[in-house]
Amino acid sequence: MTLNRDTVVNLAILALLVATAIGAHVLGNGFTVTLATKAAIFGLAGVGLNLALGYGGLISFGHAAFFGIGGYVTGILASHAAAGTPVATLPFTVMGSNEMLGIWPMAMLAAGLAALVIGALSLRTWGVYFIMVTLAFAQMLYYFAISWPRYGGEDGLSFYVRNSFPGLNTFAPIQYFAICTTLLAVALVFTAVVTQSRFGLALQAARQNSQRTVALGIRPYAIRLTAFVLSGMIVGLAGSLYADLNRFVSPAMLSWHMSGEIMVFVILGGVGRLCGPVAGAALFILLEHVLGGVSDYWQALLGLLLLAIVLFAPGGLIGILTQRRRHA
Amino acid sequence: MPEPKRHDPILEIRGLRKSFGALAATDDVSLDLRPGEIHALIGPNGAGKSTLIKQIVGEIRPDAGSIRFEGQVIDGLDAAARARLGLARSFQVSSVIADFTALQNVMLAVAGASGAVFRFHRPALADRKLTEPALFHIEQAGLAGRHLVPAAALSHGERRKLEIAMALALRPRAFLLDEPMAGMGLEGGRQLTAILSDLRAEAPILLVEHDMDAVFALADRVSVLVYGRVIATGSVAEIRANPEVRRSYLGEEA
Ligand SMILES: Nc1ncnc2c1ncn2[C@@H]1O[C@H](COP(=O)(O)OP(=O)(O)OP(=O)(O)O)[C@@H](O)[C@H]1O
Ligand SMILES: [Mg+2]
């Protein structure tokens, strides 16, 4: 990899995030470490969405479904592990778990399966219909979670002990930050590799000119569905981490509001830019805590900022920092 | 299925019909494309030339009729499958991946032809199975040295050549070129005429073209389409001499 301007900006963003957390840790400011962790997790969710939205042009307004599924899988497994009861006994016994290494694959698998079903159906539509269909699926899950009393219904599900990771103390904010940031880095490398591969070439081609892509013997549907599933799995992992951060999951993780927020991370940071969603999520959290302290109307200011970015800097933060348009 | 003989048509179109409402855009068209030939398809604006190409490549479905490609009925295949069989198409209005470089555009075509797009690991730009053929076809189409330029930054004429390079990368068994010279200018048109003449060695060409100089210089056979119907098919000399063609299409040009 050559150290071009994009790479420098990407590394600088990650370095800033890590430096913030370490600095706060040294100063004994655990709250700020947790904020940085939240930024890493939201950034991970944004990186996941970016694969579908930015690279694939799939404007999903339903990615909260995968975020929430990842969260609920984590909460359900953890609460059963705490109670010592099996999650299911038929068709085979599934025990709870409080091991992150066991929970993450389950969360990603569940989110990936959901993405396969939702994607297979919604990718038959396009444009505004696609947006509505993905939204509808996520809302279905949201209402299902609300009306399912077994795992807390409307009130959500608390689990009192953060899940564990071998050799680490996940309660120490800086250690949990390290876990989340490492996974974020893995997801970034994964995205970089995949988007530069043959598959990534086809995905980005189908976004720009689907008719041409078909004329070259490539079917966009299968390509897009694959990207949608990978995207859902990454977002599911982010949901799992978020559940563990709060030791709590609730239907809010599945709501359209959450879908919108993940989309905001991507747009703020730069659609289709590798580290865009990380920058976007960090900025979002910064604004939430700086402006949120000044005025309850910070969301209105956020709206203005979004408007300004969309109108004047469609490349987002990364676009401003790298001073150039996106090339595939 | 018997092995197709060498002189059997590559492409056989039989009784094709397509209507848009009351308009018969394709009206009982039968047409052959033989090995090694350039078969020009001419006709006035709105005659149904592009509509015919779109049915051959599978972009739109005919109402009736049948198409055979290398002896195989392809009516049930979608556009991607037909492209993989080697039906290579260029569009009347240049259609390329604008943000991709010329090289990436042609690499995409190589990947499409290979049928192996689900490769997630290796960077495409480091995959010599993609880059080497792509660079070769870029040169073949007269774009040598321009491979790192984004398609959006290529001139109109260069984009037309890029389409040719992409068609070549499909390892075509037949070319379907919809007005490849449109808007090329005199010099560009001459260059492209030479390129198309060479292309014939790769695969036969069904060539939709308004530029009569190019058609008469290149074509082995010409079919004339008017209001969706083929009113004549023959050699260049026959078509120039055909009174009906002169009346309905060539006018004073002949
Ligand atoms: N999708 C469509 N719906 C309705 N009418 C159509 C459609 N596509 C083409 N037509 C009509 O069918 C007729 C044939 O169009 P076509 O584009 O095939 O003509 P053409 O011979 O390629 O013309 P040109 O030389 O201008 O490119 C025209 O009258 C056109 O308006
Ligand atoms: Mg036309």
CB B251 near ligand 1, within 6 Å: no
- Would you say residue A165 has pLDDT above 80? yes
The answer to whether B99 and A209 are in contact (CB under 8 A) is no
- Would you say residue A57 has pLDDT above 90? yes
Using only C-alpha atoms, chain A has a radius of gyration, in whole angstroms, of 19
User: Which residue's CA is minimally distant from atom 25 of ligand 1?
Assistant: B45
CB B62 near ligand 1, within 6 Å: no
- pLDDT, one tens digit per residue, over B29-49 is 999 999 999 999 999 999 999
CA A231, CA A52: separation in Å to the nearest integer? 6
**Inter-chain residue contact A209 with B120, CB threshold 8 Å:** no
Written as six digits, the tokens of B50 are 């592009």
What is the arithmetic mean of pLDDT over A114-128? 95
Query: Residue A203 sits in which domain range?
Result: 5-322
Helix axis angle for A220-246 and A198-208, nearest 10°, is 100
The answer to whether A56 and A203 are in contact (CB under 8 A) is yes
The amino acid sitting at A173 is P
CB B92 near ligand 1, within 6 Å: yes
Written as six digits, the tokens of B149 are 């330029």
**Inter-chain residue contact A226 with B118, CB threshold 8 Å:** yes
What is the arithmetic mean of pLDDT over A207-228? 96
Which residue ranges make up each domain of chain B?
1-86+174-254, 95-171
- Which residue intervals of chain B are DSSP H helices? 49-57, 79-85, 102-114, 128-140, 156-169, 185-199, 212-218, 236-241, 243-245
Residue A119 maps to which CATH number?
1.10.3470
- Would you say residue A306 has pLDDT above 50? yes
The amino acid sitting at A15 is A
Starting at the edge strand found earlier in the chain, the sheet holding B23-33 runs B23-33, B11-20, B64-69, B72-73
B125 closest CA partner among A220, A203, A193: A193
The model carries a pTM of: 0.93
Mean pLDDT for chain A overall: 92
- Please tell me the least confidently modeled range out of A3-7, A18-22, A199-203: A3-7
- Which residue intervals of A51-99 are DSSP H helices? 64-83
Separation in Å, CA B105 to CA A208, B152, B157, B233, B238: 12, 11, 16, 36, 40
- Residue B189: CB partners within 8 Å, gap ≥ 6? B181, B211, B213, B214
User: Which residue's CA is minimally distant from atom 4 of ligand 1?
Assistant: B20
What is the arithmetic mean of pLDDT over A39-53? 98
Contacts of B83 in chain A (CB under 8 A): 214-217
ipTM strictly over 0.95?
A: no
B172 or A3: which carries more pLDDT confidence? Answer: B172
**Inter-chain residue contact B99 with A196, CB threshold 8 Å:** no
Considering every ligand atom, which ligand is closest to the CA of B20? 1
Q: How far does CA A289 lie from the centroid of its chain?
A: 20
User: Which residue's CA is minimally distant from atom 16 of ligand 1?
Assistant: B48
Beta pairing class for B221-226 and B38-42: parallel
Stretches where chain B sits below pLDDT 70 are: 1-7, 250-254
The answer to whether B206 and B53 are in contact (CB under 8 A) is yes
- Give residue ranges of A with CB < 8 Å to any B CB: 193-194, 196-202, 204-205, 208-209, 211-219, 222-223, 226, 326-328
Nearest CA in chain B to A327: B99
pLDDT for B62 equals: 96
CA A183, CA A43: separation in Å to the nearest integer? 11
Contacts of B116 in chain A (CB under 8 A): 198
Helix axis angle for A5-26 and A276-294, nearest 10°, is 40
What is the arithmetic mean of pLDDT over A299-323? 87
pLDDT for A328 equals: 46
Q: How far does CA B171 lie from the centroid of its chain?
A: 13
pLDDT for B241 equals: 86
pLDDT for B251 equals: 58
pLDDT band at A54 (very low <50, low <70, confident <90, very high): very high
- Would you say residue A1 has pLDDT above 50? no
What is the arithmetic mean of pLDDT over A236-242? 98
pLDDT for B5 equals: 56
Contacts of B129 in chain A (CB under 8 A): none
- φ/ψ of B17, rounded to 5, equals -135, 140
What is the arithmetic mean of pLDDT over A179-196? 97
For domain B1-86+174-254, give the fold: Rossmann fold (3.40.50)
pLDDT for B138 equals: 96
- Would you say residue A196 has pLDDT above 60? yes
Percent of chain A with pLDDT over 70: 98
- pLDDT, one tens digit per residue, over A15-37 is 999 999 999 999 999 999 999 99
Number of folded domains in chain A? 1
Give distance in angstroms: CA of A311 to centre of ligand 1.
Answer: 37
- pLDDT, one tens digit per residue, over A280-294 is 999 999 998 888 777
User: Which residue's CA is minimally distant from atom 24 of ligand 1?
Assistant: B45
pLDDT for A78 equals: 93
What 3-state DSSP class applies to A191? helix
**Among the partner residues A201, A219, A222, nearest to B104 by beta-carbon distance:** A201
Of B18, B19, B20, B229, the residue with max ligand 1 atoms within 8 A of its CB, to mutate for a pocket test, comes to: B20
